[in-house]
Amino acid sequence: MKVNTVAITIALVLASSVDADIMVRRRPHRDIAAQRRNLDILHGFEDGVSSFMNSFHHNSDGSSSSSSSSNDNDNGRSDVSSGSWPSGPSSKNPLANKPKLGLAWPNGDSMNITNFIKSKVSWYYTWSPTPGMSNPPSDITFCPMLWGFKHLSSFREHVLNNPNANQNSGKCVLAMNEVNQKGQADMSVGAACGLMRDNIVPLKKDHSFYIVSPSTTSAPSGKKWMQNFRQQCSDVWDDIDAVAVHYYDTNVTAFQEYVRDWHDTFNKPIWVTEYACHNFNGGAQCSDVDTFVFQKAMSTWFDQQDFVEAYAPFGVMQQMQGINTNNQLTNNGEPNILFNAIASR
């Protein structure tokens, strides 16, 4: 793509965003408030677009392809609260008074994680119970994950039975990955309830760990699964401190509404632990400009929402596992322009 073509495209995107929703696929306005929120976001990322254009000719295209996440062959969604569901005593948010941006890191030692620890990065996870690196960083918080049953033995060894290890000093834990999806953790509400009751809840009860819920896909079955979990596993639900959200689609406004809806529905803080500008529904994929606008708009919006405690885009990896490569946040193992636009203050 030639620079002048990109410049024209960006100009059109920015201009159209002033009198339409900021989105990568145009839709009718949802409401005036959404327009105003998006105009505020626009002012926040214009400087990022300018920086993108100034640096564009130095940036090589992202490479590779390939899915939702994993290390060692593992894969790894209002300000107004609503509902009457009770919550148990909350553990301390491990990211309180810290930036919200995290690294979804499946790379082990194949890339140098310290190159990606920018001013807005405060935490990371690896879709596994351990950092998976010979020399994990000590200046950002690691949150281990119990990905699913196949990681149970490792999780018990490194987390449940060793809660005071250096890697667990952040006192946070992520529950299972995409429990409603075949090929991912894929389990019933009952199985998830028992798995968490025996292996994650004790970390909170005995060691004050902060518990983030299982994640689901952004398909309608995901929200239904979480509602059933809340209903059928209320004792574990009460010990969950925050709800994990995954989102893959192309519309900024729809993404924001989705996150608000999950907060309003489940009445807990939100951790967005995977997202990308990617169409799983057979439509056109986001261009590089679409993706830049999407990623910059969402990171700005997340930073502005008190109920969003943490977020980690999918893309800090050399193989994108089937996700649109325009979301890739590294070139040749180094942070690229898109990552720097998100991660720098």
At 184-218, the pLDDT tens digits run 999 999 999 999 999 999 999 999 999 999 999 99
The domain spanning residue 140 has which CATH number?
A: 3.20.20.80
Model-level pTM?
0.78
Task: Looking at the chain, list the stretches that DSSP marks H as alpha helix, in order from N- to C-terminal side.
Answer: 3-18, 32-55, 152-155, 189-199, 201-207, 220-232, 234-239, 252-266, 288-304, 337-343
- Are the C-beta atoms of residues 97 and 84 closer than 8 Å to each other? no
Looking at the structure, do residues 53 and 120 belong to the same domain, yes or no?
no
- Written as six digits, the tokens of 210 are 């902060």
- 3-state percent breakdown (helix, strand, coil) of the chain, nearest 5: 40, 10, 45
Looking at the structure, do residues 247 and 295 belong to the same domain, yes or no?
yes
- Are the C-beta atoms of residues 142 and 125 closer than 8 Å to each other? yes
pLDDT value at residue 301:
99
pLDDT value at residue 209:
98
What are the Cα distances from residue 191, in Å, to 67, 233, 318, 334? 24, 10, 34, 40
Q: What is the pLDDT of residues 156-176, one digit of tens each?
A: 999 999 999 999 999 999 999
**pLDDT bucket at 90, cuts 50 / 70 / 90:** low
Domain that holds residue 258: 62-343
pLDDT value at residue 345:
73
- Rounded-to-integer distance, Cα 45 and Cα 52, Å: 10
Looking at the structure, do residues 132 and 241 belong to the same domain, yes or no?
yes
Q: What is the pLDDT of residues 37-76, one digit of tens each?
A: 443 444 444 444 444 444 433 333 333 323 334 333 333 3
Among 122, 169, 125, smallest CA distance to 144 is for 125
Looking at the structure, do residues 182 and 53 belong to the same domain, yes or no?
no
Q: How many domains does the chain have?
A: 2
Looking at the structure, do residues 226 and 272 belong to the same domain, yes or no?
yes
Kindly give the pairing relationship between strand 172-174 and strand 210-212. parallel
Looking at the structure, do residues 124 and 39 belong to the same domain, yes or no?
no
Residue 121: enclosing H or E segment and its boundaries?
Answer: strand 121-125
